[in-house]
Every structure is written in C-alpha cells, then in structure tokens.
A and B are shown apart, each in its own frame.
Chain A
Amino acid sequence: MTQAIYNGVLNLAAGAFLLAAVLVVWRREVRAIVRLLAWQGLALAAIPLAEGIYQDDAALIAVGVVVLLLRAVALPLLLARAVGTEAHERRESTPLVNTTTSLLITAALTVLAYAVTRPVIALDPSPATRAVPAAFAVILIAVFVMVSRRQAVSQAVGFMMLDNGIAATAFLITSGVPLIVELGASLDVLFAVLVLGLLTGHMRATFGGTDLDQLRELRG
C-alpha cells in the first residue's frame, strides 16, 4: 500500500465516519439510524485495517477484523432487534431539539472539535493525527445525540457512537491499540448493548414504549 493510497483511505474513512454521525443527527427513522451506525462501524474498521496493511502489522489487521465484525455487523443487528415494531417507536417523532437546530449545534460542535484538537495534531503531524478532529467531533456529537433523543434505541446509538469515537481517537493517535485492549472495550460495549436490549424489552412491557421521558414516572 503506497503512502498516497494510505492517506486517501484514512481521510476517506475519517470523512465517512464523521458523515455518518452527522446523518444520525439528521435522520429520525430509528432503523435508518441503526443502519448508519453500521456504516460508521465500517468506516471505523477501515482505520486499523489501513494502518495494519500499511505497516504490515498482523495484530492491527486482526483488531480491524474484530472491529468490523463487532461494530459493523453484530451490534447493529442486536440494536435492530431491539427496535420495536410499533410505528411510534420506529421514529423519533418529537426530538427534544428540532432538527434544524440540532444540525446547527452539530456544526458548532464539529468546529469546536477541530479547534480544540489543534494542539494534539501539532504534537505529531501525520496523516493519522490529522484525522483526529473528525473522531473527536464524533464523540461530541454522540454526547449531543444522547442528550437530545427520546427513544431508548437512539440513546443506545448515541452511546455506541461515543464508543466508536473514542476507539477512532485511540486508533488515530496511537497508531494502533493492542488487540486485548480493543477486545476488552468492544466486549464491554457488547454487554452494554445486551443489557440495553433487555432494558428496552422491560420498558416496553412496563410502559408500552421506550420513550425515556416516561422514566420520570419512576420518581416517587
């Protein structure tokens, strides 16, 4: 793999990674959001794969494959199963912040991410670190998604985007994470998603929906 192709793939992956996060903010259809998450997982997996192939590092390639299977396939599948069949659960009908404002906030967060990661890039300017702002922006956007969404599944998507962002930052800054660390983190997320799946099931049984605002009723 030549330097140019490596650069291209890395940039492309970072761009797609960020784009997927933006589209998650944009869309309201929960299924579409989960599908976007799968695409984001694919973009995330491309980073260690590209680095692994470029540096001839089998462990990194293995990490990439694990990430691919877990984040682009397994987790979205699990989440998709958690999406209810009721019409009102398949859409974020009334997000707490309207879409236009959400998009503008996303713009602000991204610009902020670019600004605050400048010193990080300045430490070691390389194609990989140049993509860090995108990963960091995804972290901020993920937090925003978690803050502004009502449906439990969208919350879970936000959580997973957060984790994707952290993983991407780690890959880009350290040029690769040991396999064991990545496995640990990914398993963590897997468990979290399983628990969330259980919880949404319970919520649906109890409240007849997964609108998180209804949790307020739990307060005595």
Chain B
Amino acid sequence: MSAMSVMSVVATLLQVVAVLVGAPLVVGGMRQVRARLEGRAGGGVGQPWRDLRKQLRKQQITPLGTTVVFALAPAVVAGTTLLIAAILPLISLGSPLDPAADLFGVVGLLFLGTVALTLAGLDTGTAFGGMGSSREITIAALVEPTILLAVFALSVPGQSANLAAIVAAAADNPGQLVSPGSLLAFVALAIVIIAETGRLPVDNPSTHLELTMIHEAMVLEYAGPRLALVEWASAMRLTVLLGLMANLFLPWGIAGADPSPLGILIGFVVISLKILVLAGALAAGEVFIAKLRYFRVPELLAGSFLLALLAVTASYFFATPTN
C-alpha cells in the first residue's frame, strides 16, 4: 500500500516485539497487584519471565497417541496472537497489515487460536482435556454474538470495521466516546475480553482443582517449551486485547499513519501506560469477586449481549449530528 512507509513498518515491528517482551510482565504485574492486595509479598513482576525461561529449558514430552494437532496448537495460538499484535493499532495507526484484516478478521483470528487449543485438549483423549475444551468452546460460542455486535457498534461512528478507521474516528471526535453507545460497547467488550482470556469471574487462572478449570484443563498435558508457548500466548492475548480496548475507547497518544520516531516513542509509552493501568484495574477488581458457577456464565454473557445490542441501537439512534 502507498501508505506503507518505513516508519509504520518500524512501529508495527516494535508493537510485536513489545507485546512479546511485555506480555509476561503485564501478567506479572497483575499477579503482583493481587498479591499486595491480599497482604502477600508476591513473586515480583519478573516472575512469569523466570517461569518462561525455565520452561523453555525443560524436556518436551509428547503424550502417546496425540497427533500433530497437539504439537502445533501452541504455535498456532501464539502465531495468531502475534499476527493480531501486528494488525492492531497499538503504537501507530498505519500498520501495513491494517487493510488486510479488519476487526471481524481479528476476532476470527482470535477464535482460530481458541479452536486450536480446544482441539489440542480433545486430542489428548483425557477426561480433563475434553472437559476443558467443551467448556471453552461453549463460552467462545456464546461470546461471539457479543463481540460481533460490539464491533458493529464501534464501526458505526467510523463507518468502517477497519481498526485504523475506528480509532482515527474516535480520536477525531472525542465527544462520541462518552456517548451511551460507546459506553455500553465498552462494558460489553470488557465482559467478553474477560471471558475470552479466562479471567475471573468466568475462569480462575490460578486454580489447582481440575474440576473447576476451563482454560487450564485443556493444557494439562503440555510440558516444557510447548507449555511455555501456551502460557506466553495467553499472556500476549490478554495484553493485546487490553491494548485494543484501551485504544478503542481512549485513543489519545497513538501515533498517526505515517509516524515520526518521536511519535512512535510517545505511542509506545502511552500504550504501555494504558495497558498497565487497565491490567492493574482488572487485577484489583478480581480480588473482590469469586468465580461464577459455570452455568451462570451464560447469564453474564447474555447480559453482555444485551449491552452490545443496546450499544448498537444507541449508536444508531443517538447518532447526534456531528457538525
């Protein structure tokens, strides 16, 4: 594309590298916030990185009877997440991949990762693997309507579902951001992101009880480098989704389509701050809530669907003439 300048490529590469390096730190920060609120000292922000480095040095175990699906699923989850990190407007607007996939495409890629992991859970042929996959796919199926409706609501002001257009429209017209449609979409999207990344109250990421697991149950058989990839990928998913959320609703500070080096620097610092604040808020909120009973999760998702529907309706009907 003509808009594809050297600097926008640099910004995109920086995004990918920053997500790769920063995602474990985000998770470490969230665990640290939780630990401090619980009165513990906590393992420190760098703990997930230590765990990752250690897992990468451990033996790889392939359970007997599994196929290439089990072997490749971690790479597919990580790959889709990296690709999403390259598409999203995190640091700058002009990712060369932006015209290649709009928000629907990004959601599709996200689900592709989820599907890869659920298939891996089934592939092991263990009771817990199947259980985790069944639960994960049920939640994913119920999350999809909310996500797509929220995308719809967000695409109304910018007249496009392409991410750069949505974020640019929001940045140009900050009044839209406090409109009911935008707020409702924010809440709806927050709920589905929580559900998709397996955070409380949908899933408890730190549970040890197999019977209460969703995401963890699927990956019980992974060891060593593949486990490292799975955990890395889930940290990256959380990070990019928080980044997406931050820039959809608080677009300030993002560099333009053809950024200057200073713009990239500012964009990088600003998005890091936004993600850290959002992650901290999420972790702090989790201290106060317990996991929902699995069969009450559909209620939560029906609620988020309602909010997303209201968001679309509101953004249609409220659409104040933006002179």
Contacts and interface: CB of A to CB of B under 8 A. Distances in A.
Whether the complex brings A and B within 8 Å at their CB atoms is answered: yes
Interface stretch (A62-70, A106-114, A178-186, A193-201): A106-114
Interface string B115-149: 00000000000000000000000000000000000
Nearest to A26: B303
B320 A11 contact: yes
Nearest to B296: A99
B283 interface: no
A103 B179 contact: no
Contact of A130 (B175, B178, B318): B318
Q: Which range contains the number of B residues in contact with the other chain?
A: 20 to 34
Contact of A22 (B310, B317, B318, B320): B310
Nearest to B311: A15
B309 interface: yes
B314 interface: yes
Given A7-B175, A18-B180, A19-B187, A107 B310 contact: yes
Given A127-B320, A130-B320, A106 B175 contact: no
A131 B184 CA distance: 15
Contacts of A7: 175, 320
B303 A103 contact: yes
A12 B310 contact: no
A18 B313 CA distance: 12
Which applies to chain B's interface (DSSP): helix, strand, loop or mixed? helix
A104 B306 CA distance: 7
B180 A14 contact: yes
Contacts of A99: 299, 302-303
Interface of A: 4, 7-8, 11-12, 14-16, 18-19, 22, 26, 99-100, 103-104, 106-107, 110-111, 114, 121, 127, 130-131, 133-134
Given A15-B179, A22-B303, A104-B302, 9 more contacts: A7-B175, A12-B180, A18-B180, A19-B180, A19-B183, A22-B307, A130-B318, A130-B320, A134-B180
29 contacts: A8-B175, A8-B178, A8-B179, A11-B179, A12-B179, A12-B183, A14-B318, A15-B179, A18-B314, A19-B184, A19-B187, A22-B306, A22-B307, A26-B299, A99-B299, A99-B302, A99-B303, A100-B302, A103-B299, A103-B303, A104-B302, A104-B306, A107-B309, A107-B310, A110-B306, A110-B310, A111-B309, A130-B320, A134-B314
Interface of B: 175, 178-181, 183-184, 187, 298-299, 302-303, 305-307, 309-310, 313-314, 317-318, 320
